[in-house]
């Protein structure tokens, strides 16, 4: 018999009640803070044409001939600085968020609703998670990439992975996808409440810097809405916090390579603010739903050192929403709104 190109569920009981599923998708993480574990993770991540839009043959030579020979060891050192006894902060935080959302939706009538987590790079993969949910009876699937602002480099890549999986399933589930939630009222309120609570406990700095992950400027020039959505999030959040324009600063971090990325750059911004006399700087990262290497190491460690070396006294990182009650409530409301009309949610 010829081998089938499609994955099916041979022998499944068609009498079992249909379920709805919510698939949370985050970026991903290596399995360990070692060069050996970083190499396949970086190869998958940086090999994604959504992330690096260079001619494939040229980028393959650069990636495998240069980057994967040097970067794994450097990245392993950075990961080791934030790795916890439980494992990767992004993996652990994402799992806690998924569990909290499952607990919140478990008793939502009429149900049943299944919440699962996937990583775009690494494990559990999007394909593995969708196939597992299908085996558990999920017939309607809502995909929620945990990126508040849309970019082709992040959410767009998740859509590719979902589409690739669907093409290989013999009986794909009914599908809906949340593209972004950068201006969602509940999400913005959750961000504002989180920052206000942190200020109430720790005091308030002279300025608040909102640092978003950067992308190459040419991607935005080609039509990526990411920069506009980041600016919208920052403007709406600043209004909710009652901040004057002089108290709120926006920047972009994690630049790689030599081509221009979105500006101003975070590292240059913290140094400039320190040189201008700012002594106490608070930093939040509204583009990250869960704390990870880019927030815990790049912001709270690297950029803290840049700030103090340039004359500042204290740079304080305000944690991401993680599995806070505010984030769980806002994402629950977002999910319920996007799943309207499905029997399990109605």
Annotated binding site: 213, 294
Angle between helices 185-202 and 226-241 (to 10 degrees): 50
Q: How far apart are CA 247 and CA 269, in angstroms?
A: 14
DSSP codes of every residue in 99-147 = HHHHHHHHT-SS--EEEEEEEEESSSBHHHHHHHHHHTTEEEEEEEES-
DSSP string, 296-344: IIIIIIIIHHHHHHTT-SEEEEPPP-TT-HHHHHHHHHHHHHHTTTSTT
CA distance 265 to 113: 42
Cα 283 → chain centroid: 17
* Under 8 Å between Cβ of 196 and 177: no
Neighbours of 248 (CB within 10 A): 17
List, as residue ranges, the binding site for Fe(2+): 213, 294
In whole angstroms, give the CA distance from residue 189 to residue 343: 29
For residue 144 the two structure tokens come to 């929620």
243 near 230, Cβ under 8 Å? Answer: no
Q: Which of the 8 DSSP states describes residue 169?
A: B
- Contact of 255 with 211, CB cutoff 8 Å: no
């Amino acid at each position: 018999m010829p081998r089938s190109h499609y994955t099916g569920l041979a022998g499944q009981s068609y009498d079992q009640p249909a379920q709805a599923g919510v698939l949370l998708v985050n970026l991903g993480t290596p399995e360990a803070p070692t060069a050996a574990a970083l190499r396949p993770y970086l190869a998958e991540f940086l090999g994604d044409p959504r992330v690096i839009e260079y001619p494939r043959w040229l980028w393959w030579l650069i990636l495998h001939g240069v980057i994967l020979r040097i970067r794994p060891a450097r990245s392993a050192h950075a990961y080791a600085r934030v790795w916890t006894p439980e494992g990767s902060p992004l993996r652990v935080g994402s799992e806690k968020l998924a569990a909290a959302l499952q607990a919140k939706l478990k008793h939502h009538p009429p149900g049943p609703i299944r919440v699962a987590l996937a990583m775009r790079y690494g494990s559990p993969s999007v394909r593995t998670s969708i196939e597992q949910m299908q085996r558990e009876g999920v017939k309607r699937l809502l995909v929620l990439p945990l990126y508040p602002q849309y970019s082709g480099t992040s959410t767009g890549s998740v859509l590719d992975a979902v589409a690739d999986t669907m093409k290989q399933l013999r009986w794909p589930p009914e599908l809906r996808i949340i593209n972004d939630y950068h201006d969602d009222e509940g999400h913005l309120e959750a961000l504002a409440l989180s920052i206000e609570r942190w200020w109430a406990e720790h005091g308030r700095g002279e300025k608040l810097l909102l640092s978003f992950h950067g992308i190459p400027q040419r991607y935005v020039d080609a039509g990526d809405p990411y920069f506009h959505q980041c600016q919208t999030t920052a403007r709406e959040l600043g209004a909710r916090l009652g901040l004057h324009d002089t108290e709120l600063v926006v920047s972009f971090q994690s630049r790689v390579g030599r081509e221009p990325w979105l500006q101003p750059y975070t590292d240059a911004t913290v140094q400039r603010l320190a040189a201008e006399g700012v002594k106490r700087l608070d930093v939040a990262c509204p583009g990250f739903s869960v704390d990870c290497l880019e927030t815990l190491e790049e912001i709270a460690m690297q950029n803290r050192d840049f700030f103090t070396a340039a004359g500042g006294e204290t740079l304080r990182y305000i944690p991401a929403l993680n599995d806070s009650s505010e984030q769980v409530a806002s994402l629950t409301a977002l999910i319920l709104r996007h799943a309207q009309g499905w029997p399990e949610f109605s």
